[in-house]
């Protein structure tokens, strides 16, 4: 009995948030929640050095890059550093077979050579405020969930309108802890962000998909951009005479390197975590959703890979798409393995049991949460059916171009409804222009192969009575003939036949579009999903959210002495930890850093993920590392630490105890990818690119050392 109790206690302690190193903290609450602990762990900064409403602080150097990544300002001329994989679509967009910046890298040798990137943004945080009380004004404990949502949304609109009135800022309010808290973010978004430099892929993507999400790692995953502003230092659309942005703050760069045990922190915009999930949700992710998505992506990737290897134009044109599909394919694989290995579902179940036990002193509360848990169970038993349908929709039916383009065409048709002929022509001309570009590198044979494979997987994966009727009719007409069905679709549909489609767009013919075979297929697919899946899915989602709101609120009350952090939701956070190796499995310990020697050991001229260009080999042979070498004489490349990060933290600055830049965050280790759902301090590590290697590549490899003159290097 005693033993059982001890085990239970261990599980509870293990699952409670905010163990050492775990947590993604809101910068404006650091003083209250973390400052003491950070100092105890070696941090030399005050909470105000990190975030301050009234004065310049580190937060003024942190950028949300392109909406989904992080970057840091490292010069007074708006120079920013992020990952190669974050700049990848911009780099690919400027590349062609003649100017292959993906393969060979790109470096602007002066400001006039920097490349513009329409659509790319750099967002800074001006201020963060807790607006929970305002959002909840006029609501009470008896307000129904539906009314609550409407009232809160109305308030949020007012708050945003108020704080953005008469200034050039934008703002948004996000719910935290499933709506127990609401936080306002006031932001400034720059729209002229130019590419300054990117290393060749053999550096920036060294190890490719094989090494992605893995340690030990030798990837030089960085690229550099510059933020431009108008003459008043304000955000502006691209203009030739825009000037480099003068930031309030830029980061100093430490040349000292790190050693095991050093304090580190990561400042950035983590995307999404779900640390408070109910056990059934973890079970669904681990046993259903992740495996389904992995299998669907694996198929698509293997086809893409084959065609991309055979044709250079295809390789470049589809590089960014391939990389993003592959990234999460591998992440989900690691996640499901990690969750299984650590017996996540049972750990959650034990935790939930203990939680209910702790409520025993208050029978009414105990009953209430027993009901909450029962509701979780019954909702998830339905939810997982819809989740599977949705996974097939996103990863399978929207995996080939006939469907993707038909969906875009539907938006186009809707956007011109009720418009004058002239405006209609304009919209269609715009679409024609972008499609003309698309068709230049479109690989129809590859797309058809994917379509056929996806249809087959759909037929095998989704029960007949749950299939889109129009698609199932094709299956009935032509049983098991997926190539044949694809031929029909791809011979007839305009969306995959350049002349037909451009013609329809030139004549602005809505009728032609609406009669298209793929258009009709898409329409019935979206109708089916809207009526039979999405509506139900979002309804259950809202019900689950209401349960989680109660559950997370009660957690903070039951475990009063614990500190709770909100799940990541693409808002600015601080996470801190220590430089530390780890034990991936029995008998093996991974060192905390890697060096150029290790990259050389991995070289394989016959595998394009592990090629090394001669110039790097020369530098290595001569040990020409200059001031970038470590005290031990080697060139350090990456290091691991216990910072709790996720996607969106890609490109985040990794800072030392004094707030100096020591590297750029770019990944996590394979054994710890389940940290979005369950963080384990023994095994979860973030991977940081040592800034000295970044500078070495810029200076010694690329010969763009002039950029270092803008930076503040601390020796
Ligand atoms: N490499 C990751 C990504 O691409 C970053 C992370 O999730 O740690 O999103």
* DSSP letters for 572-603: -EEEEEEB--EEEETTEEE-SEEEHHHHHHH-
Count of domains for the chain: 3
**Which of the listed residues 649, 652, 679 should we mutate to test ligand 1's pocket, taking the one with most ligand atoms within 8 A of CB?**
649
Using the CB atoms, write b or e for 44-83: b if 16+ within 10 Å.
ebebebbbbeeeebbbbbbbbbbeebbbbbbbbbbbbbbb
Distance 266 CA to ligand 1 centre (A): 13
Q: Which atom of ligand 1 is nearest to the CA of 668?
A: 8
Distance 675 CA to ligand 1 centre (A): 11
If asked whether residues 501 and 600 sit together in one domain, one would say no
State the pLDDT confidence band at 17, using cuts at 50, 70 and 90. Answer: low
Task: Report which of 656, 566, 576 is spatially closest to residue 36, judged by C-alpha positions.
Answer: 576
Residues with CB under 6 A from ligand 1: 85, 327, 645-647, 649-650, 666-668
The widest CA-to-CA distance across the chain, in whole angstroms, is 80
Residue with the smallest CA separation from ligand 1 atom 3 is 647
Between 5-14, 479-488, 681-690, the lowest mean confidence (pLDDT) is in 5-14
pLDDT at 163: 97
Distance 68 CA to ligand 1 centre (A): 11
Region 519-538 average pLDDT: 97
**Which of the listed residues 209, 211, 640, 647 should we mutate to test ligand 1's pocket, taking the one with most ligand atoms within 8 A of CB?**
647
Task: Report which of 305, 323, 303 is spatially closest to residue 451, judged by C-alpha positions.
Answer: 303
pLDDT at 18: 54
Q: Which atom of ligand 1 is nearest to the CA of 648?
A: 9
Is 84 among the residues known to form the active site? no
The CATH number that applies at residue 607 is 2.40.10
DSSP string, 151-218: HHHHHHHHHHHHHHTTSS-EEEEEEEGGGTEEEEEEEEEE-EEEEEEE--HHHHTTTHHHHTT-SS--
pLDDT at 16: 61
Region 527-543 average pLDDT: 96
If asked whether residues 549 and 593 sit together in one domain, one would say no
- Separation between Cα atoms, residue 670 and residue 647, nearest integer Å: 14
Pairing of β 253-254 and β 713-714: parallel
522 part of a folded domain: yes
**Which tokens in the block code for residue 665?**
């965050």
> Rounded to whole angstroms, what are the CA distances from 243 to 112, 231, 396?
11, 7, 45
600 part of a folded domain: yes
Half-sphere exposure of 620 (CA within 13 A, CB side): 17
Please say if the pLDDT value at position 14 is more than 70.
no
pLDDT at 4: 52
Task: Report which of 485, 449, 213, 504 is spatially closest to residue 318, judged by C-alpha positions.
Answer: 449
Please say if the pLDDT value at position 2 is more than 50.
no
442 part of a folded domain: yes
Supply the angle between the helices 482-492 and 444-461 in degrees, to the nearest 10: 130
Average pLDDT score over the chain: 95
Distance 179 CA to ligand 1 centre (A): 26
Residue 221 and residue 85 in contact, taking contact as beta carbons nearer than 8 Å: yes
Q: Which atom of ligand 1 is nearest to the CA of 213?
A: 1
Region 685-702 average pLDDT: 98
407 part of a folded domain: yes
Residue with the smallest CA separation from ligand 1 atom 1 is 667
Helices of type H across 243-361: 279-284, 290-310, 312-317, 319-341, 344-358
- Separation between Cα atoms, residue 239 and residue 176, nearest integer Å: 38
Q: Which atom of ligand 1 is nearest to the CA of 676?
A: 7
Dihedral (CA of 472, 473, 474, 475) sign: positive
**Which of the following is catalytic: 57, 75, 84, 85?**
85
- Separation between Cα atoms, residue 336 and residue 329, nearest integer Å: 11
Is 636 among the residues known to form the active site? no
Residue 179 and residue 119 in contact, taking contact as beta carbons nearer than 8 Å: no
Distance 327 CA to ligand 1 centre (A): 8
Region 367-376 average pLDDT: 98
**Which of the listed residues 667, 675, 685 should we mutate to test ligand 1's pocket, taking the one with most ligand atoms within 8 A of CB?**
667
- How many residues make up the chain in this entry? 715
459 part of a folded domain: yes
If asked whether residues 313 and 453 sit together in one domain, one would say yes
Region 235-245 average pLDDT: 97
- Separation between Cα atoms, residue 639 and residue 233, nearest integer Å: 36
If asked whether residues 154 and 241 sit together in one domain, one would say yes
Pairing of β 263-268 and β 653-655: antiparallel
State the pLDDT confidence band at 260, using cuts at 50, 70 and 90. Answer: very high
- Please name the residues in contact with 705: beta carbons below 8 A apart, sequence gap of 6 or more: 698, 699
Residue with the smallest CA separation from ligand 1 atom 4 is 647
**Which tokens in the block code for residue 328?**
């999460």
Query: Where is the domain boundary, 247, 265, 288?
Result: 247
324 part of a folded domain: yes
Region 575-579 average pLDDT: 97
Distance 575 CA to ligand 1 centre (A): 15
Region 160-179 average pLDDT: 97
- Please name the residues in contact with 352: beta carbons below 8 A apart, sequence gap of 6 or more: 278, 279, 373
685 part of a folded domain: yes
pLDDT at 20: 64
| Owner of token pair 């055979």 | 310
Distance 648 CA to ligand 1 centre (A): 7
Phi, psi of 442 (to 5 degrees): -65, 130
Residue 687 and residue 634 in contact, taking contact as beta carbons nearer than 8 Å: no
Please say if the pLDDT value at position 7 is more than 80.
no
- Separation between Cα atoms, residue 424 and residue 507, nearest integer Å: 10
**Which of the following is catalytic: 21, 211, 221, 516?**
221
Phi, psi of 623 (to 5 degrees): 50, 40
Distance 669 CA to ligand 1 centre (A): 10
pLDDT at 688: 98
**Which tokens in the block code for residue 431?**
């679409």
Other C-beta atoms lying within 10 Å of the C-beta of residue 97: 13
If asked whether residues 85 and 157 sit together in one domain, one would say yes
pTM above 0.75, yes or no: yes
- Separation between Cα atoms, residue 608 and residue 38, nearest integer Å: 43
pLDDT at 531: 96
If asked whether residues 577 and 546 sit together in one domain, one would say no
If asked whether residues 340 and 229 sit together in one domain, one would say no
If asked whether residues 536 and 615 sit together in one domain, one would say no
Is 221 among the residues known to form the active site? yes
pLDDT at 21: 80
Distance 677 CA to ligand 1 centre (A): 14
pLDDT at 351: 97
**Which of the following is catalytic: 279, 493, 638, 650?**
650
Other C-beta atoms lying within 10 Å of the C-beta of residue 430: 12
- Separation between Cα atoms, residue 564 and residue 217, nearest integer Å: 32
| Owner of token pair 């280790």 | 669
Region 625-641 average pLDDT: 98
- Separation between Cα atoms, residue 500 and residue 514, nearest integer Å: 14
Please say if the pLDDT value at position 325 is more than 50.
yes
Region 391-402 average pLDDT: 98
- Separation between Cα atoms, residue 44 and residue 454, nearest integer Å: 54
**Which of the listed residues 666, 674, 677 should we mutate to test ligand 1's pocket, taking the one with most ligand atoms within 8 A of CB?**
666
pLDDT in tens, 416-425: 999 999 999 9
Parent domain of 604: 573-714
46 part of a folded domain: no
- Separation between Cα atoms, residue 114 and residue 194, nearest integer Å: 6
Query: Would you give the end-to-end CA distance of the chain in angstroms?
Result: 58
Characterise 351 by phi-psi region: left (phi > 0), alpha (psi -120 to 50), beta (else): alpha
pLDDT at 384: 96
pLDDT at 141: 87
pLDDT at 81: 98
If asked whether residues 393 and 440 sit together in one domain, one would say yes
Residue with the smallest CA separation from ligand 1 atom 2 is 667
Residue with the smallest CA separation from ligand 1 atom 9 is 647
* 3-state class (DSSP) for residue 127: strand
If asked whether residues 410 and 530 sit together in one domain, one would say yes
If asked whether residues 190 and 307 sit together in one domain, one would say no
Between 2-6, 64-68, 162-166, 699-703, the lowest mean confidence (pLDDT) is in 2-6
If asked whether residues 185 and 285 sit together in one domain, one would say no
- Please name the residues in contact with 556: beta carbons below 8 A apart, sequence gap of 6 or more: 177, 562, 564
- Separation between Cα atoms, residue 715 and residue 712, nearest integer Å: 10
Query: Where is the domain boundary, 556, 584, 607?
Result: 556
């Amino acid at each position: 009995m005693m033993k059982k109790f001890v085990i239970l206690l261990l599980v509870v302690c293990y699952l409670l948030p905010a163990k050492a190193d775990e947590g993604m903290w809101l910068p404006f609450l650091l003083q209250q929640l973390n400052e003491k602990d950070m100092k105890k762990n070696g941090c030399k900064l005050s909470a105000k050095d990190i975030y301050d409403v009234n004065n310049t602080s580190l937060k003024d150097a942190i950028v949300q890059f392109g909406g989904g990544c992080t970057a840091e300002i490292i010069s007074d001329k708006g120079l920013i550093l992020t990952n190669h994989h974050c700049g990848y679509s911009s780099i690919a967009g400027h590349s062609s077979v003649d100017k292959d910046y993906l393969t060979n890298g790109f470096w602007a040798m002066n400001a006039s050579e920097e490349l513009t990137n329409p659509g790319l943004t750099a967002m800074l945080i001006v201020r963060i405020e807790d607006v929970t009380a305002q959002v909840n004004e006029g609501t009470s404990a008896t307000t129904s969930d539906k009314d609550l949502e409407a009232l809160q949304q109305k308030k949020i609109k007012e708050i945003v309108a108020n704080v953005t009135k008469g200034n050039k800022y934008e703002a948004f309010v996000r719910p935290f802890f499933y709506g127990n808290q609401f936080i306002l973010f006031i932001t400034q978004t720059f729209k002229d962000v130019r590419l300054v430099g990117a290393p060749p892929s053999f550096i920036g993507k060294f190890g490719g998909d094989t090494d992605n999400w893995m340690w030990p790692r030798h990837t030089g995953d960085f690229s550099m951009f510059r933020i431009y502003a108008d003459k008043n230092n304000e955000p502006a659309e691209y203009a030739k005479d825009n000037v480099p942005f003068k930031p309030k703050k830029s980061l100093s760069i430490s040349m000292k390197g790190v050693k095991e045990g050093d304090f580190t922190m990561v400042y950035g915009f983590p995307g999404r975590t779900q640390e408070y999930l109910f056990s059934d949700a973890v079970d669904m992710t681990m046993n259903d959703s992740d495996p389904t998505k992995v299998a669907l992506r694996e198929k698509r990737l293997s086809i893409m890979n084959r065609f991309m290897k055979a044709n250079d134009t295809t390789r470049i044109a589809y590089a960014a798409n391939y990389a993003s599909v592959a990234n999460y394919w591998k992440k989900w694989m690691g996640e499901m393995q990690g969750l299984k290995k650590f017996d996540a579902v049972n750990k959650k179940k034990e935790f939930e049991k203990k939680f209910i036990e702790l409520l025993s002193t208050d029978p009414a509360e105990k009953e209430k949460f027993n009901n909450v848990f029962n509701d979780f169970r019954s909702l998830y038993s339905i939810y997982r059916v819809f989740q599977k349908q949705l996974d097939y929709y996103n990863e399978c039916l929207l995996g080939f171009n006939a469907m993707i383009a038909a969906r875009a065409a539907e938006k186009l048709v809707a956007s011109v409804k009720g418009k004058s002929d002239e405006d209609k022509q304009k919209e269609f001309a715009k679409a024609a222009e972008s499609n003309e570009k698309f068709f230049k590198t479109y690989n129809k044979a590859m797309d058809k192969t994917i379509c056929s494979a996806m249809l087959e997987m759909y037929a095998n994966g989704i029960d007949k009575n749950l299939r889109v009727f129009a698609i199932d009719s094709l299956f009935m007409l032509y049983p098991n003939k997926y190539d044949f069905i694809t031929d029909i679709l791809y011979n007839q549909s305009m969306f995959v036949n350049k002349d037909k489609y451009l013609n329809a767009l030139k004549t602005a013919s809505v009728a032609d579009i609406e009669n298209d075979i793929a258009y009709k297929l898409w329409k019935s697919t979206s109708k089916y999903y809207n009526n039979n899946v999405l509506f139900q899915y979002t309804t259950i989602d809202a019900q689950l959210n209401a349960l989680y709101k109660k559950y997370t609120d009660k957690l903070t009350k039951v475990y009063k002495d614990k500190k709770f952090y909100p799940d990541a939701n693409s808002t600015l956070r601080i996470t801190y930890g220590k430089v530390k190796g780890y034990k991936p499995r029995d008998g093996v310990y991974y060192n905390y850093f890697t060096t150029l020697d290790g990259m050389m050991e991995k070289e394989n001229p016959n595998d394009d993920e592990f090629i090394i260009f001669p110039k790097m080999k020369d530098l290595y042979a001569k040990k020409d590392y200059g001031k970038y070498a470590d005290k031990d004489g080697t060139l350090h490349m990456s290091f691991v630490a216990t910072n709790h990060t996720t996607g969106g933290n890609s490109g985040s600055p990794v800072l030392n105890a004094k707030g100096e830049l020591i590297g750029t965050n770019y990944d996590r280790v394979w054994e710890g990818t389940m940290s979005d759902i369950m963080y384990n301090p023994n095994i979860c590590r973030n991977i940081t690119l040592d800034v000295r290697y970044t500078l070495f590549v810029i200076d010694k490899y690329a010969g763009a050392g002039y950029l270092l003159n803008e930076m503040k290097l601390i020796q």
